[in-house]
Chain A
Amino acid sequence: MRPGSDSRRSLPHLSVDVIAEGHAVMRQARIPLTPLGRLWAVPLLAGLLLAGCATRPPASDPDSVAEYQQNNDPAEPTNRRLYAVHQVIDQYALRPVAVGYRAVVPQPVRSGIRNVLGNLRTPVILVNDMLQGEPRRAGDTLGRFVINSTLGVGGIFDVARSQFGVAGHAEDYGQTLARWGVGEGPYLFIPVLGPSNPRDLVGFGLGILSDPLTWFGQGAVVNGLTWGRSGATVVDTRESLIEAIDNVNATSLDSYSTLRSAYRQRRNAEIRNEGDVGSPAAGGTGFGVGTGAYERR
């Protein structure tokens, strides 16, 4: 991009919201698709990783080399192409659907949907709490599941939070692998899924495989429910990120690198279990619901 050539990107961007947005956007990663739908990513990735590599700066320029290593994005040209693809998909499909969903479905209903999706995520969160050796957090997760599934009418109402003061948190296998000492590997941008890396991608796959609902029953009804859950998660997540992504697109001089930096920072904070401020709501999927920096509408 030539600076200043695209008016959309020449807006102010240095703001608290943008930070919030940056990490909110990265929560776009790991949107669960249905089991079959998820498989497409594998060959696509393999092919793309081979397709384009960034040029390593010469050793005579230590600053550049340091930055190259810090960015840890050897496939940057390919990633940028995929990001461009994602932006088109987002502009014509994801965002319009999310905006429509917000316009048509009233806020209390959307909250209920978000809570149900979050509740459905709790088995995977619980397993990861345990794998990370966090008995207290595991207890919170288990307690929330029991209370919200019963008193909360199948998870529609987050009574564990509102009545018992037990707020939810997100966890996923990517974080568990990190706690076990697995490195993140090179940065990846995957259309629809968002920012990622090999570790988090493996974690994403494990999340699907270990989700009891992936293996529960069969037939048209179950398939329909599975697809419905995946679709609802994508729409709900995108809805929670409307302002966040709009702002990054409008204000960053280079939204690709903004997202890359923000994703890393956010993931590291998640791995250290810092700042569980928001509810895990849709983020029951591991990416939360934004910072709450925007008015509910």
Chain B
Amino acid sequence: MNAIERRGLIGAALTLTAIAGLARPALAQADIGRAANFIQTTGQEMVAAVNDQSRDVAARRQRVAAILRRAVDVDGVGRFIIGRWWRQASAQEQQEYQKLFEETLIRNLSSRFGEYQGVRFSLGRSQQRTEDDVLVNTVIERPNMAPFSLDWRVAEIGGQPKIVDVIAEGTSLRLTQRSEYSSVIQRNNGSVGALLQAMRGQIQQMAAREGR
């Protein structure tokens, strides 16, 4: 290879890098903006619902649940969490799992957030794009408490931004939960039915608790 050819190649490589460098951030910014907007809007709705003094606890919780159902990719998260056991489950088990998972997730998140009286939230400093989705950082403040940070993983599901994971200080909800569910199935000799039974028990407990 002579010097000129080499220079040409280097030039081409540099040009390509420059184009990639220009194109990438533009694409990323658009997605990040959309995801951050979505979290901002959803967060404001949640805060308004949680702090709405004109309603009682049960009504607040219901409003929070409705917002969550809209904002979270419940089916996708459920599938991710059950992971490899999905294929081992019968069609009926799959259906029941999705139902129980949605109820567990929504009930649990709404009862938690429903208690966050006086909560304030704001977008944090780092919003970053990963391979398939965007991580939106938020800071949650409650009276008398140190502020803490939550990262929301937002993906495009059917053309709409949806929450697919929550990460608190490096710990992902869906990864932790996947490990837990898999362990329950494994320790019951690979029975998905055992997990469903445990989830049913859990929901009963939740209902009893909320009824108090």
Question: Chain A interface (Cβ within 8 Å of chain B)?
Answer: 1-4, 7, 10-20, 22-23, 63, 67, 71, 251-254, 256-258, 260-262, 265-266, 268-270, 272, 274-275, 277-279, 291-296
- Say if the beta carbon of B144 comes within 8 Å of chain A: yes
Give a binary string over B97-119; 1 marks a CB under 8 Å from any A CB, 0 the rest: 00000001101110111000000
The size bracket of the interface on B is: 35 or more
Q: Is the CB of A254 within 8 A of B202?
A: no
Question: Chain B interface (Cβ within 8 Å of chain A)?
Answer: 84, 104-105, 107-109, 111-113, 142-150, 166-173, 175-184, 187-188, 194-195, 197-206, 209
Most B C-beta atoms less than 10 A away, residue of A15, A63, A251, A296: A15
CB distance from B81 to the nearest CB of A (A): 9
Least CB separation from B209: chain A residue: A11
Which residues on the B side are within 8 Å of A11 (C-beta)? Answer: 202, 205-206, 209
Least CB separation from B195: chain A residue: A3
* Complex Cα–Cα for A1 and B195 (A): 11
Q: Which of A14, A71, A265, A279 contacts B146 (CB 8 A)?
A: A279
CB distance from A25 to the nearest CB of B (A): 10
Q: Which of B112, B145, B169 contacts A23 (CB 8 A)?
A: B169
Q: Is the CB of B184 within 8 A of A254?
A: yes
Q: Is the CB of B182 within 8 A of A295?
A: no
CB distance from B193 to the nearest CB of A (A): 9
Q: Which of A3, A23, A71 contacts B188 (CB 8 A)?
A: A3
Q: Is the CB of B170 within 8 A of A266?
A: yes
Q: Is the CB of B171 within 8 A of A266?
A: yes
Q: Is the CB of A4 within 8 A of B180?
A: no
Least CB separation from A259: chain B residue: B176
Residue contacts A-B, CB under 8 angstroms, 8 given: A3-B188, A3-B195, A4-B200, A15-B109, A254-B183, A265-B172, A268-B170, A278-B169
CB distance from B67 to the nearest CB of A (A): 15
Q: Is the CB of B166 within 8 A of A19?
A: yes
CB distance from A90 to the nearest CB of B (A): 19
Q: Is the CB of B171 within 8 A of A269?
A: yes
Which residues on the B side are within 8 Å of A294 (C-beta)? Answer: 145
Q: Is the CB of B175 within 8 A of A278?
A: no
CB distance from A76 to the nearest CB of B (A): 9
Which residues on the B side are within 8 Å of A10 (C-beta)? Answer: 198, 201-202, 204-205
Q: Is the CB of A265 within 8 A of B201?
A: no
Which residues on the A side are within 8 Å of B206 (C-beta)? Answer: 11-12
A3-B198, A253-B202, A258-B180 known; A14 vs B145 contact (CB < 8 Å): no
Q: Is the CB of B148 within 8 A of A277?
A: yes
CB distance from B167 to the nearest CB of A (A): 7
Least CB separation from A291: chain B residue: B148
Which residues on the B side are within 8 Å of A3 (C-beta)? Answer: 184, 188, 194-195, 197-198, 201
Which residues on the A side are within 8 Å of B148 (C-beta)? Answer: 20, 277-278, 291-293
Q: Which of A12, A265, A274, A277 contacts B175 (CB 8 A)?
A: A265
Q: Is the CB of B209 within 8 A of A253?
A: no
Q: Is the CB of A296 within 8 A of B145?
A: yes
Q: Which of B169, B178, B201, B209 contacts A20 (CB 8 A)?
A: B169
A11-B202, A14-B104, A14-B109 known; A292 vs B168 contact (CB < 8 Å): no
A257-B183, A295-B145 known; A16 vs B168 contact (CB < 8 Å): yes
Which residues on the A side are within 8 Å of B180 (C-beta)? Answer: 13, 252-254, 257-258, 261
Q: Is the CB of B145 within 8 A of A19?
A: no
